[in-house]
Amino acid sequence: MANTKYLIAVVGPTASGKTALAIKLAQRFNTAIISADSRQFYSELIVGVARPSKEELGAAPHYFIADRSVKNLLTAGQFEKEALTLLDELYKEHDVVIVCGGSGLFINTLVYGADPMPEADEELRLSLQQHFDEKGIEYLQEELLRLDPEYYKQVDKQNPLRLMRAIEVCTVTGQPYSAQRKSEKKERPFKTVFIGLDPGREELYNNINLRVDRMMKDGFLAEAHSLVQWKEIAALQTVGYRELFDYFEGHDTIATAVELIKRNSRRYAKRQMTWFNRNEEIKWFNPADVKEIISYTEQQLSL
């Protein structure tokens, strides 16, 4: 591999087996894993974000897992800066590092760079948050559709953080957010090898349903209840927590809430696949084909 440094990016939808594969690759190449799961960053979120178990965390060095409070939001731009600084240190000892996650925006930001955007406008953000609290996510959706129909077609319309940030950029700059996301790929001191996991729709949806049932048995309800005081924080306005908060407020029965978590998780997985399928650099595998994945990865690292 000479002096070339590599980043192996393990991507794919939720419940596709990314964590298990990342650990196998980290052990094969004797290296560390950077998490790019935008909810696993936060220490308060455990069951509901399928945080790797103690055994999994002990099987290889992990970074960006439970290293900050949910009250301290980590944006994609901040993640880019922190992860690049960490990679500088890791590459002093390793030629290969793994990044693993289903948050396509964070993966792309690390690999390709973030588009230059204005700093957050706290007053505007608080105003948007208040509108969101009072009128619901439909307000944000309608506002973004008005300001930037092009980005509205692409964005995860159930993610209030993404909606608010896009609205904020449109308002501050007077230009559509989509028009400001055209910057060229930034140079990186590493080559990226993309490994995508796709078990197929039937198996994936079954995995999601089983995972949700396991989460409920493992105490997801109690975890969500302990976080009610922070329910308006963007990281908690996401699949799983959102449905349980509705249950606590009497909008649904617990059985309905669980079914909604399963349904919305499946929909989220579909959106993830749509995002990743736009990236032609990703080589897709069935997660069961570990030997084939390792063989392919070794070939790429020998280039």
Instruction: Count up the domains in the chain and report the number.
Output: 2
Residue 59 has pLDDT above 90, yes or no: yes
Residue 39 has pLDDT above 90, yes or no: yes
Looking at residue 263, its pLDDT comes to 95
Decide which of 180, 205, 221 is a domain's last residue: 180
User: Domain with 277 in it: what CATH number?
Assistant: 3.40.50.300
In a domain, residue 128? The reply is yes
Do 163 and 32 share a domain, yes or no?
Answer: no
Do 37 and 104 share a domain, yes or no?
Answer: yes
- Residue bearing the bigger pLDDT, 172 or 6: 6
Check the CA dihedral 154-159-164-165 and report its sign. Answer: negative
Q: Which domain does 164 fall in, by range?
A: 122-180
Cα–Cα separations (whole angstroms), residue 301 to 3, 5, 18, 32: 11, 9, 20, 16
Do 237 and 287 share a domain, yes or no?
Answer: yes
Decide which of 131, 161, 180 is a domain's last residue: 180
Residue 226 has pLDDT above 70, yes or no: yes
- C-beta separation of 272 from 5 below 8 A: no
Q: What is the largest CA-CA distance in the chain?
A: 61
199-221 pLDDT tens trace: 999 999 999 999 999 999 999 99
Looking at residue 41, its pLDDT comes to 96
Do 224 and 168 share a domain, yes or no?
Answer: no
What DSSP state is assigned to residue 6?
A: E
161-186 pLDDT tens trace: 889 888 988 887 777 888 777 656 78
Do 227 and 255 share a domain, yes or no?
Answer: yes
pLDDT grade, residue 115 (50/70/90)?
low
In a domain, residue 80? The reply is yes
27-38 pLDDT tens trace: 999 999 999 999
Residues ≥6 apart with Cβ < 8 Å to 193: 6, 7, 8, 9, 297, 300, 301
Do 99 and 208 share a domain, yes or no?
Answer: yes
In a domain, residue 1? The reply is no
Q: Which residue type does 39 have?
A: R
Looking at residue 238, its pLDDT comes to 87
Do 212 and 295 share a domain, yes or no?
Answer: yes
Residues ≥6 apart with Cβ < 8 Å to 228: 245, 248
pLDDT grade, residue 117 (50/70/90)?
low
Q: Give the percent of the chain with pLDDT over 90.
A: 68
pTM of the predicted model as reported, rounded to 2 decimal places: 0.82
Do 200 and 266 share a domain, yes or no?
Answer: yes
Do 297 and 234 share a domain, yes or no?
Answer: yes
247-266 pLDDT tens trace: 999 999 999 999 999 999 99
In a domain, residue 133? The reply is yes
**3 state DSSP class of 10:** strand
